[in-house]
């Protein structure tokens, strides 16, 4: 008995309706990106392994899908590696490529390789799939699409302001009510300094980033496990539950960070972004200073953003931040950048749950010509060609079979109209056209049919 085929966990097939809806989201995002001057690029689905490893922190490196070397790589494996039970040592010897984990690091590599061809500041957007060896769950997949926008070559804080506006514009168009959570890595560095954990910033942010998943007590416990002084973690506790107005949070930080130069610099940047966004205004989104937002990626150095839908319990649907020297890891120093990502798959789930997809987002075929015989089909094909030249989708049923089978096909595919051209219709230069939604039928010439469907 044949084994029923399956797909790997954390991946999905998409039917025509789903693909059309995903294209709708991407078209909205594409319009928003290009409205702010971003240009499209694409990069390979896999990179050299050294391009990706060491860029996402300890947690991220574990989730990179590695690709085995070609050929008989085991024959060349040193004996000491064979005897080792360390997965990391094995990985470096048997894998030389990896599926991309995100679009930002490949973008940094792209900028360095093509720097002589680009005009800086360089603004790009990119919509492609990425892969992470994570545990699949609702809204979290091993293969998923990211829709990113980045700008490199400018350290102006106006970039942060524009990205907040970009989020607001895109999600307003999609009909989603969202909150944009805002923090700054310099503020987090200042907090770490105040609690005596300056040398443990990565450990501090990795633990903090798990707050939504494990709660405040376990976050504090993990900080202690990572070597952060217990006395210092007690100072952090008020920050983990702070839910005041933005101004109240900034006032608290002004006192908390008064002895940290780095922290006060981050606070200054936060105020700039909030003041300018307030002056410009947002259409539907709200913005919230969130001191527990850490985004556990090592390359962020300034502002960090995360977007959450207000009406769906699904975690973040977008995020990003400032990175001052991401291209430096590839040899191009002092090129500051800022970027954000839209989570296509989670946005889809939100729109689906809230029934926000417009009818126009689904690609429905316009008209099906029935097959009444060889000569009649030749005429139908000519009519279909004429319709397509006018931008109207038209299809001809390939087989001369029973009406019921052809009607069933029309119903399943959702055709708005069906057309029948038999011998008498062919001789009279007309087609019998039925409106599938009303059941009404009329005889139309080709010009009349074009006029009807063009509406």
Please report, in range form, the residues annotated as the binding site for L-histidine. 102-104, 132, 146, 150, 295, 299-300
Specify binding-site residues. 102-104, 132, 146, 150, 295, 299-300
Q: Coil, strand, or helix at residue 63?
A: coil
The dihedral formed by the CA atoms of 29, 34, 36 and 37, expressed in degrees to the nearest 10: 150
Residue with tokens 């980033």: 209
H or E stretch at 141: none
Helices then strands, each counted (H, E), the chain? 19, 16
The dihedral formed by the CA atoms of 325, 128, 172 and 213, expressed in degrees to the nearest 10: -70
Nearest Cα to 11, choosing from 162, 165, 140, 101? 140
- Residue 449 · residue 382 · CB < 8 Å: no
Q: Rounded to an integer, what distance in angstroms lies between the CA atom of residue 132 and that of residue 65?
A: 6
Within 13 Å and on the Cβ side, how many CA atoms surround 294?
25
Counting every residue written for the chain, the total comes to: 455
The H-assigned helical ranges of 155-259 are 158-174, 185-194, 201-208, 211-214, 216-225, 230-240, 246-256
């Amino acid at each position: 008995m044949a084994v029923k085929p399956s797909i790997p966990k954390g991946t999905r097939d998409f039917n025509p309706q789903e693909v059309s809806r995903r294209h709708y989201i991407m078209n909205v995002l594409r319009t928003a990106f290009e409205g702010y001057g971003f240009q499209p690029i694409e990069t390979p689905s896999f990179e050299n392994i050294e391009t990706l490893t060491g860029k996402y922190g300890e947690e991220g490196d574990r989730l990179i899908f590695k690709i085995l070397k070609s050929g008989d790589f085991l024959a060349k494996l040193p004996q000491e590696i064979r005897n080792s039970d360390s997965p990391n040592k094995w990985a470096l010897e048997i894998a030389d490529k990896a599926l991309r984990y995100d679009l930002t690091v490949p973008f940094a590599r792209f900028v360095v390789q093509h720097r002589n061809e680009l005009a800086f500041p360089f603004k790009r957007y990119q919509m492609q799939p990425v892969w992470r060896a994570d545990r699949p769950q609702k809204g979290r997949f091993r293969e998923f699409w990211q829709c990113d926008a980045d700008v490199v070559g400018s350290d102006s804080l106006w970039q942060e302001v524009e990205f907040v506006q970009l989020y607001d514009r895109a999600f307003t168009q999609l009909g989603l009510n969202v909150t944009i959570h805002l923090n700054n890595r310099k503020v987090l560095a200042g907090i770490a300094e105040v609690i005596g954990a300056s040398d443990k910033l990565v450990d501090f942010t990795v633990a903090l980033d798990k707050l939504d998943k494990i709660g405040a007590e376990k976050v504090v416990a993990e900080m202690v496990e990572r070597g952060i002084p217990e006395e210092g973690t007690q100072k952090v506790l008020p920050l983990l539950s702070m839910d005041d107005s933005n101004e109240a949070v900034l006032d608290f930080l002004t006192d908390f960070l008064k002895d940290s130069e780095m922290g006060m610099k981050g606070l200054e940047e936060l105020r700039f972004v909030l003041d300018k966004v307030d002056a410009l205004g947002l259409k539907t989104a709200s913005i919230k200073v969130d001191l527990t937002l850490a985004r556990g990626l090592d390359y962020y150095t300034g502002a960090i953003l995360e977007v959450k839908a207000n009406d769906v319990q699904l975690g973040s649907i977008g995020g990003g931040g400032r990175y001052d020297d991401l291209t430096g890891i590839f040899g191009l120093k002092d090129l500051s950048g800022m970027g954000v990502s839209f989570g296509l798959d989670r946005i889809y789930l939100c729109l689906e749950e809230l029934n926000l997809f417009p009818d126009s987002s689904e690609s429905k075929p316009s008209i099906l010509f029935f097959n009444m015989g060889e000569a009649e089909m030749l005429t139908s094909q000519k009519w279909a060609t004429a319709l397509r030249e006018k931008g109207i989708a038209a299809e001809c049923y390939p087989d001369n079979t029973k009406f019921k089978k052809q009607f069933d096909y029309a119903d399943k595919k959702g055709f708005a109209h069906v057309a029948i051209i038999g011998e008498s219709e062919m001789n009279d230069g007309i087609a019998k056209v039925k409106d599938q939604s009303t059941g009404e039928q009329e005889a139309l010439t080709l010009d009349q049919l074009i006029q009807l469907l063009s509406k």
